[in-house]
Amino acid sequence: MKNVFLKYIVILSLPVILLSCKALPVNYSTSQSWLLSGNKPEKTPATLTVLGVQVDRTGGWDSVERETAALAPLYFWNRGCKVVPAEERPVYAAAIQVREREFNLGWRTKRSLAVEVRIWAYEDAPEAGASVQDQKLPAAVGIVTAMGERSFSSSETTGHLLSKAIGKAAKKLVLYERQKYDA
């Protein structure tokens, strides 16, 4: 009876131990897709332009910047916003900032990752190079932070945090629009 009980404990704990240490050689991938043409939303999407993407990170920031700039319109579309060029006079303007910081915690190097999305009414958007003190407050902001061992070098991490930050900002933008029209 004691041997049977011991075998069950070993058998049941083995997968937990292997999965917690990521010892299994399992490769995985994630995917996402968008259908933009021919897609008729229930209401006219809010239009916005992306003012820019700024990445604050040591080494390899340009690829993160390009990836973020390429993914942002798709994630905005998921939230009911259509990214258009500034010449089309959008209703809103957005700026995206991505920050990665490294710090030591005991024997390990940890990272703090942050993605910040600020959305202004187009006419209130800051000019290029304007200092933070000269800017008007944005209409909506979404910030997502994560701490751990991951890096923005992983497209999965970048996409996930960007999607969440845009989602949070877009959710507040809906409240901003309601407030504006109720007044």
Does a structural domain hold residue 13?
no
Does a structural domain hold residue 124?
yes
Does a structural domain hold residue 34?
no
The residue segments making up the domain with residue 112 are 43-182
Q: pTM for the whole thing?
A: 0.75
Does a structural domain hold residue 1?
no
Structure tokens at 63: 């690829």
Residue 79 belongs to a domain with what CATH number? 3.30.160
Does a structural domain hold residue 76?
yes
In this structure, the chain runs to a length of: 183
Does a structural domain hold residue 101?
yes
pLDDT, residue 1, reads 63
Does a structural domain hold residue 27?
no
Does a structural domain hold residue 33?
no
* Cα–Cα separations (whole angstroms), residue 159 to 13, 81, 98, 176: 33, 17, 11, 25
* Cα–Cα separations (whole angstroms), residue 7 to 15, 16, 19: 14, 15, 19
Domains contained in the chain, number? 1
165/54 Cα distance (integer angstroms): 15
pLDDT, residue 24, reads 45
* Tens digits of pLDDT across the chain (183 residues): 667 777 777 777 766 666 655 544 555 445 566 656 655 555 667 889 898 888 887 777 788 899 999 999 999 999 989 999 989 999 999 999 999 888 888 888 888 889 999 999 999 888 866 666 677 889 999 999 988 888 888 888 889 999 999 999 998 888 877 776 666
